[in-house]
């Protein structure tokens, strides 16, 4: 048996963008186990190509040397290949402790001895992430550049069960994901989200569900307060697994450049993604039903993308000048196009 271990990235969006690599490894006969931190592991459970998901017991940002050594030693003899997606030293320790014969990853911080198949990092500072991960399969740069979009699946009964819990029906509600872990320079203004929520509810009579982490619960509550009737705040009240089901069953999604944006893309949802400080050339929603709104060229913003957490100029024009009505029209156009030409593969 050709058994492989994949060390997952720590962010939801990066995990989603690793799916084409997972699919490529499975297609060539590798039986894949994914080692992931608990807040990312639900993403890999939505990839049918993954045979096993292992929840890692480590704290975020800590080396946990003894725990990694003990776990790695317990895995000795289990795997023939390891694919290390993060560039950190600690992420390469587990395969090394496990003595996995073939350990693949990019050059990173002090990993010369830990990896024995080290790939040179791309020359561009922020490469397209799907191709960046896909290239670790080692079957040629051309196929890495022509990689498929990420695709995830959840059982219909799982989605139905989550929707029933919240009194929702498939395709009869909207999802807004107004947060972004990276910082406010990625976040479309709360007042704009409130205007959009109010308009979508008035258009359709359908509820608007606000999703996000516990850190974004106050933001979601503020948006719901401004929007009035029709909003349901579930930010901080659901697991990632449940949030993914809520996205999979929605009529459409509006978000910033965030992990939930990538989740919506991988489910093929009609969506609009508003970009600010980051670039859709680096982390776009790879989905034929997605529209990106980014004002860099339209407003001739030489400062974009700045990749800063807070706007260094203090105006955040790249986000503030995206009108709610523009996003509303774009979302409806995507929903209507999807209804006219449904994607049978999703």
The residues, ordered by sequence, that sit 6+ positions from 228 with a Cβ below 8 Å of its Cβ are: 198
pLDDT on residue 145: 44
| Superfamily name and number for 3-145 | Glycogen Phosphorylase B; (3.40.50.2000)
- pLDDT, residue 251, reads 98
Q: Give the pLDDT confidence score for residue 253 in this predicted structure.
A: 98
Query: Cβ(80)–Cβ(101) under 8 Å?
Result: yes
Query: What CATH number labels 156-340?
Result: 3.40.50.2000
Q: Measured between alpha carbons, how far is residue 19 from residues 26, 35, 246, 320, 338 in Å?
A: 11, 14, 20, 33, 23
Query: Does a cis peptide bond (omega within 30 degrees of 0) precede residue 305?
Result: yes
The whole-number pLDDT of residue 108 equals 76
Q: Could you give the CA distance from residue 53 to residue 37 in angstroms, rounded to a whole number? A: 10
CB atoms within 10 A of CB 230: 18
Q: Are strands 271-274 and 102-106 parallel, antiparallel or unpaired?
A: unpaired
Closest CA relative to residue 180, chosen from 212, 210, 223:
212
Which long-range contacts (C-beta less than 8 Å, at least 24 apart) are formed by 88-93?
89/114, 90/63, 90/64, 91/7, 92/7, 93/65, 93/68, 93/69
CA gap 115, 88 in Å, rounded: 12
pLDDT tens, the chain, 346 aa long: 799 999 999 999 999 999 999 999 999 999 999 999 999 999 999 999 999 999 999 877 778 899 999 999 999 999 999 999 999 999 999 999 999 999 999 987 778 889 999 998 887 778 889 999 999 998 754 344 446 899 999 999 999 999 999 999 999 999 999 987 777 889 999 999 999 999 999 999 999 999 999 999 999 999 999 999 899 999 999 999 999 999 999 999 999 999 999 999 999 999 999 999 999 999 999 999 999 999 999 999 999 999 999 999 888 999 999 999 999 999 999 999 999 986 554 5
CATH 3.40.50.2000-classified regions of the chain: 3-145, 156-340
Distance CA 230, CA 322 (A): 23
* Rounded distance between C-alpha atoms, residue 167 and residue 173, angstroms: 11
């Amino acid at each position: 048996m050709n058994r492989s271990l994949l060390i997952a990235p720590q962010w939801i969006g990066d995990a989603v963008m690793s799916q084409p690599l997972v699919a490529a490894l499975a297609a060539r006969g590798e039986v894949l186990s994914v080692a992931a931190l608990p807040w990312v592991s639900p993403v890999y459970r939505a990839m049918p190509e993954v045979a096993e998901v292992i929840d890692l017991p480590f704290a975020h940002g800590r080396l946990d040397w003894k725990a990694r050594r003990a776990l790695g030693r317990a895995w000795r003899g289990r795997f023939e290949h390891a694919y290390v997606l993060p560039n950190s030293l600690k992420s390469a320790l587990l395969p090394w402790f496990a003595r996995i014969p073939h350990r693949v990853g990019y050059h990173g911080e002090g990993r010369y001895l830990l990896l024995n198949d080290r790939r040179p990092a791309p020359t561009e500072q922020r490469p397209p992430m799907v191709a960046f991960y896909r290239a670790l399969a080692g079957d040629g740069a051309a196929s890495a550049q022509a990689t498929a979009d990420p695709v995830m699946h959840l059982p219909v009964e799982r989605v139905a069960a989550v929707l029933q819990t919240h009194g929702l029906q498939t395709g009869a509600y909207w999802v807004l994901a107004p947060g972004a872990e990276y910082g406010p320079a990625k976040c479309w203004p709360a007042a704009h989200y409130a205007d959009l929520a109010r308009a979508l509810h008035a258009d359709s009579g359908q509820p608007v569900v606000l999703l996000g982490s516990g850190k974004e619960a106050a933001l979601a509550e503020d948006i719901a307060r401004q929007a009035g009737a029709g909003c349901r705040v579930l930010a901080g009240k659901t697991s990632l697994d449940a949030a993914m089901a809520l996205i999979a069953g929605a009529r459409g999604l509006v978000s910033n450049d965030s992990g939930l944006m990538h989740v919506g893309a991988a489910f093929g949802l009609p969506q609009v993604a508003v970009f600010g400080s980051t670039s859709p050339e680096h982390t776009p929603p790879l989905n034929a039903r997605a529209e990106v709104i980014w004002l860099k060229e339209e407003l001739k913003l030489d400062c974009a993308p700045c990749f800063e957490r807070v706007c260094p100029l203090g105006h955040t024009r790249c986000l503030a000048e995206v009108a709610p009505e523009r996003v509303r029209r774009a979302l409806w156009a995507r929903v209507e196009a999807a209804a006219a030409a449904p994607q049978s593969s999703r």
